[in-house]
Amino acid sequence: MNNFKYVFLCGIFIFHSLKSSSASIVSTGDFTKDFFVTWSPSHVNTSTDGRSRSLKLDQESGSAIASNDMFLFGQFDMRIKLVPGHSAGTVLAFYLTSDQPNRDEIDFEFLGNVLDQPYILQTNIFADGFDNREERIRLWFDPTKDFHTYSILWNLHQIVFMVDYVPIRTYRNHADKGVAYPRWQPMSMKMSLWDGSSWATNGGKDKIDWSKGPFIASFANYTIDACIWKGNARFCRANSSGNWWNKEELSSLTWKQRRFFKWVRRYHLVYDYCKDYNRFQNNLPKECSLSKY
Q: Which residues lie below 8 Å from residue 37, measured CB to CB, with a gap of 6+?
A: 44, 63, 64, 65
Pick the catalytic residue from 109, 134, 135, 287: 109
In angstroms, the CA 214 to CA 44 distance is: 12
Contact call for residues 97 and 223 (beta carbons, < 8 A): no
Helices (DSSP H) in the chain: which residue ranges?
Answer: 2-20, 31-34, 233-237, 255-267
Nearest to residue 189, comparing CAs of 51, 95, 103, 91?
95
Contact call for residues 243 and 73 (beta carbons, < 8 A): yes
What residue type is assigned to position 200 of the chain? A
Looking at the DSSP bridge assignments, the partners of residue 54 are 45, 218
Contact call for residues 113 and 87 (beta carbons, < 8 A): yes
Is 135 among the residues known to form the active site?
no
DSSP state of 62: -
Nearest to residue 56, comparing CAs of 95, 35, 83, 20?
83
Length of the chain counted residue by residue = 293
Is 134 among the residues known to form the active site?
no
In angstroms, the CA 132 to CA 105 distance is: 12
Report CA dihedral (189, 193, 195, 200) to the nearest 10 degrees. 70
Query: Pairing relation of β-strands 90-97 and 71-81?
Result: unpaired
What residue type is assigned to position 225 of the chain? D
Report CA dihedral (187, 190, 192, 198) to the nearest 10 degrees. 20
In angstroms, the CA 169 to CA 180 distance is: 17
Catalytic annotation, residues: 105, 109
